[in-house]
């Protein structure tokens, strides 16, 4: 047994599998909690010795307890925004598998939430690669149905959107609007008129035109967003980068005690570069569950949207029919170099969004140009198509990959078509990275894919695409290694491994209870495991509406042990 004190426990959990993620003691029979921290972990007999007359004894009923899941990367604020948006995602996330299906979903949304002329109609999850039409949607598809409302469908990658004619008019884009550097504006054939799809720097300014709820309503939405994460077993979440206007909102929410999950926030790189001063530490200690941890740079785009930046061309050209297309960087190397250098001077952690190998080269160059300091835990978010030689440099420089194996299911078939098997099968190469000794995370990139950590684990272990094809069998990993990426190695990414990520005495009582043990079920069924309960700091923050675990203050063995 490991124990931090002889203090009497508030709660003891037993009666199920307990996966500690502590390599010294990987399994336990029971866990004792006191004042929001883990008091003792070990055998049932020993842990029961920490009980007292008022200790709650919770029987797991054969279910499985793990450390609370740690979000490797997502966009928390988006979860607070989607309450008023239409879900135009393809199955299994939504129901829109065709352009007609998208129109049907939008009509249903408007029927439930009528719009006045001029009010925005917003959808999320648009994915042209998943449509049975075999093409991207255009403004002409939607104009007959929504002529009086500006419409925007946010691309599933978060790196693009489709507008109708009213939408283009509302944002002031027409045939005379040039495509900005790092942007993609798809034009109508034989014309300079925008067709509908905008990607990367052509799309990002559109976000400034979209309406946002009032600050008061947004504060309420933050609670709803946390409940979404908690229902998936997360106890630590991320927002990277934070929209500049949202930073004061987060601080207000923290000051008012509205956070019950730990939120790690990251500056947007342009704001950081214009604000931060060398030598000033811009990390903030966690207070009321919130902290600013560093800065996030978006270096390239989306592989399924064909805007990720590669050293070799796509096999299928660009989203606008471009030939010999390698994608595009979102920021020039000069910006990346300046932000990385300044962040290191300020002690701020650096996260960089990179999907293509050419973008990853930019990050490695920036790290070297900044002196390649040790211990920074610089994280390359996605690292989807990292090359083997780049992984060697990750290991050399202690750079962390935060992988995205959900792509194997949602877009594995698309990647094979766009990139060929050699590149597609090395997607998020977790097994190779583990073999090099890298500590890595795995994430949902929510809203891009669902939050569900068991689905993330399933994709890492199976790497099965929508069509049933295995996308890189050699990179499948064990369920245990997959869980490390969702727990203890997630804590390591945030410099918090001393206080969370494993079930050890003295650490926070951040825990999740699952309906089954992912180490024991058939690998193909891991995605069917559900979160039964999520516990943050010893307090239940989510409980599925199923028969509750038995609870008693008078278990005979506890009485005998006192």
**Which pLDDT tens digit goes with each residue over 483-507?**
999 999 999 999 999 999 999 999 9
Q: Residue 103: pLDDT band by 50, 70, 90 thresholds? A: very high
Letter string b/e over residues 85-96, b meaning 16 or more CB atoms within 10 A of that residue's CB: bbebbbeebbeb
- Residue 562, pLDDT score: 23
Lowest mean pLDDT among 169-183, 390-404, 472-486: 169-183
Whether the link from the prior residue into 92 is cis, omega within 30° of 0, is yes
Rounded CA separation 218/239 (Å): 15
- Residue 84, pLDDT score: 81
- Which of 50-64, 175-189, 271-285 is the most confident on average? 50-64
State phi, psi for 396 to the nearest 5 degrees: -65, -45
Are 14 and 61 contacting, i.e. CB atoms less than 8 angstroms apart? no
Q: Residue 5: pLDDT band by 50, 70, 90 thresholds? A: low
* Mean pLDDT, rounded, of the chain: 93
Residue ranges and CATH numbers for the domains of the chain are 2-68+507-561 (2.30.40.10), 77-209 (3.10.310.70), 216-493 (3.20.20.140)
C-alpha dihedral (305, 419, 332, 189), degrees to nearest 10: -50
Q: What average pLDDT does this structure show over 51-75?
A: 97
Rounded CA separation 162/36 (Å): 47
Q: Residue 212: pLDDT band by 50, 70, 90 thresholds? A: confident
The answer, yes or no, to whether residue 282 has pLDDT greater than 80, is no
Q: What is the pTM of this model?
A: 0.90
Q: Residue 376: pLDDT band by 50, 70, 90 thresholds? A: very high
**Which pLDDT tens digit goes with each residue over 303-344?**
999 999 999 999 999 998 899 999 999 999 999 999 999 999
State phi, psi for 224 to the nearest 5 degrees: -60, -40
**Which pLDDT tens digit goes with each residue over 108-133?**
999 998 999 999 999 999 999 889 99
Rounded CA separation 401/392 (Å): 12
Rounded CA separation 348/365 (Å): 18
The answer, yes or no, to whether residue 551 has pLDDT greater than 70, is no
Q: What is the full DSSP assignment across 108-147?
A: HHHHHS---TT--EEEEEE-GGG-TTSS---HHHHTTT-T
Rounded CA separation 340/320 (Å): 32
């Amino acid at each position: 047994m490991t124990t931090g004190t002889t203090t009497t426990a508030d709660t003891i959990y037993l009666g199920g599998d307990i996966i500690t993620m502590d390599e010294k003691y990987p399994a336990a029979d029971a866990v004792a909690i006191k004042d929001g921290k883990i008091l003792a972990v070990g055998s049932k007999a020993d842990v029961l010795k920490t009980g007292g007359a008022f200790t709650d004894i919770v029987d797991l009923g054969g279910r499985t307890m793990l450390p609370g899941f740690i979000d490797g990367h997502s966009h928390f604020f988006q979860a607070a925004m989607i309450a008023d948006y239409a879900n135009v995602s393809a199955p299994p996330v939504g129901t829109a598998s065709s352009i007609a299906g998208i129109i049907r979903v939008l009509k249903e949304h408007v029927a439930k939430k009528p719009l006045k002329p001029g009010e925005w109609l917003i959808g999320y999850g648009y994915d042209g690669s998943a449509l049975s039409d075999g093409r991207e949607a255009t403004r002409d598809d939607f104009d007959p149905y929504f002529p009086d409302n500006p419409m925007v469908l946010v691309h599933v990658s978060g790196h693009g959107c489709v507008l109708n004619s009213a939408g283009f008019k509302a944002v002031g884009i027409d045939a005379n609007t040039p495509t900005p550097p790092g942007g993609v504006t798809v034009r109508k054939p034989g014309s300079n008129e925008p067709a509908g799809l905008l990607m990367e720097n052509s799309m990002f300014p559109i976000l400034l035109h979209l309406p946002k709820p009032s600050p008061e309503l947004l504060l309420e939405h933050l609670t709803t967003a946390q409940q979404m994460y908690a229902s998936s077993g997360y106890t630590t979440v991320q927002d990277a980068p934070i929209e500049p206007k949202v930073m004061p909102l987060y601080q207000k929410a923290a000051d008012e005690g509205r956070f019950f999950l730990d939120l790690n926030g990251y500056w947007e790189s342009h704001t950081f570069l214009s604000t931060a001063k060398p030598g000033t530490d811009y990390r903030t200690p966690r207070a009321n569950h919130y902290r600013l941890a560093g800065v996030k740079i978006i270096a390239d785009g989306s592989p399924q949207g064909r805007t990720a930046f590669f050293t070799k061309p796509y096999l299928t050209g660009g989203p606008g029919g471009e030939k010999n297309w390698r994608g595009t960087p979102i920021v020039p190397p000069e910006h990346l170099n300046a932000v990385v250098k300044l962040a290191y001077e300020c002690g701020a952690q650096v996260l960089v969004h990179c999907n293509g190998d050419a973008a990853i080269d930019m990050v490695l160059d920036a790290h070297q140009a900044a002196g390649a300091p040790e211990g920074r835990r610089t994280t390359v978010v996605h690292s989807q198509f990292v090359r083997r030689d780049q992984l060697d440099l990750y290991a050399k420089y202690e750079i962390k990959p935060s992988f995205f194996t959900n792509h194997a299911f949602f877009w594995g078939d698309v990647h094979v078509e766009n990139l060929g098997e050699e590149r597609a099968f090395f997607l998020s190469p977790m097994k190779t990275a583990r073999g090099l000794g890298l500590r890595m995370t795995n994430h949902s990139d929510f809203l891009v894919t669902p939050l569900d950590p068991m689905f993330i684990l399933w994709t890492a272990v199976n790497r099965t695409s929508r069509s049933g094809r295995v996308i890189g069998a050699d990179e499948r990993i064990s369920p245990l290694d997959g869980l490390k990426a969702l727990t203890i190695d997630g804590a390591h990414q945030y410099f918090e491994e001393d206080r969370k990520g494993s079930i050890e005495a003295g650490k926070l009582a951040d825990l999740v209870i699952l309906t089954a043990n992912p180490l024991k079920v058939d690998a193909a069924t891991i995605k069917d495991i559900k979160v039964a309960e999520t516990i943050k700091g010893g307090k239940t923050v989510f409980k599925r509406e199923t028969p509750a675990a038995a609870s008693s203050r008078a278990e005979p063995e506890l009485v005998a042990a006192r």
